[in-house]
Amino acid sequence: MKYGGAAMVKESLKKSFCDDIGLLRSVGLRPIVVHGGGPEITRTAGGSWAARRVRRRAAVTNTSDLKVVEMVLTGSINTDLVTLLNQEYGHAVGVSGKDGALLRARKLVPENGAATWARWAR
């Protein structure tokens, strides 16, 4: 399930989302939640977040912005969501795409050698 948008900023929607996850678990399902974080990343980076440039469906992010992205997604949003879920239901575990090399990226250079972009590969 995708957790993002208004559900991330409005307390009543956060609670409702966690209740929905708890309901799914109570009927034997094991939902996986994928969360966003663009607005909080932009706020933390002071509006300088450069990852909004997209080439061939992949975000282009410089090294300093990537550190902010990781800090916000892993250290803030993921931690807060896991805490909320565990307060009521006690079964949430936070995983980063870096954990266990779950997601890997490699830099691609076009044939003309001009720009570079990230491509997510399994």
Mean pLDDT of the chain: 80
Q: How confident is the model at residue 8 (pLDDT cuts 50, 70, 90)?
A: confident
Its domain, for residue 78, covers 2-121
Give the CATH number of the domain where residue 44 resides: 3.40.1160.10
pTM: 0.72
What is the structure's pLDDT at 102?
84
Number of domains making up the chain: 1
Residue 31 has pLDDT above 90, yes or no: yes
Q: Are 102 and 95 in contact (CB under 8 A)?
A: yes
Q: Are 76 and 113 in contact (CB under 8 A)?
A: no
Residue 122 has pLDDT above 50, yes or no: no
For the four alpha carbons of 66, 69, 75 and 79, in that order, the dihedral sign comes to: negative
Count CB-CB contacts under 10 A for residue 76. Answer: 14
Question: Which conformational region is residue 113 in: left (phi greater than 0), alpha (psi within -120 to 50 degrees), or beta?
Answer: left
Q: For 34-48, what is the mean pLDDT?
A: 81
Percent of the chain scoring above 90 in pLDDT:
33
d(CA 66, CA 77) in angstroms, rounded, equals 15
For the four alpha carbons of 17, 4, 29 and 90, in that order, the dihedral sign comes to: negative
What is the structure's pLDDT at 25?
93
pLDDT tens track for 70-120: 888 898 999 999 999 999 888 899 998 888 888 887 776 666 655 544 444
Residue-by-residue DSSP string for 11-57: HHHHHHHHHHHHHHHHTT-----EE--HHHHHHHTTT---TT-EETT
Q: Are 27 and 62 in contact (CB under 8 A)?
A: no
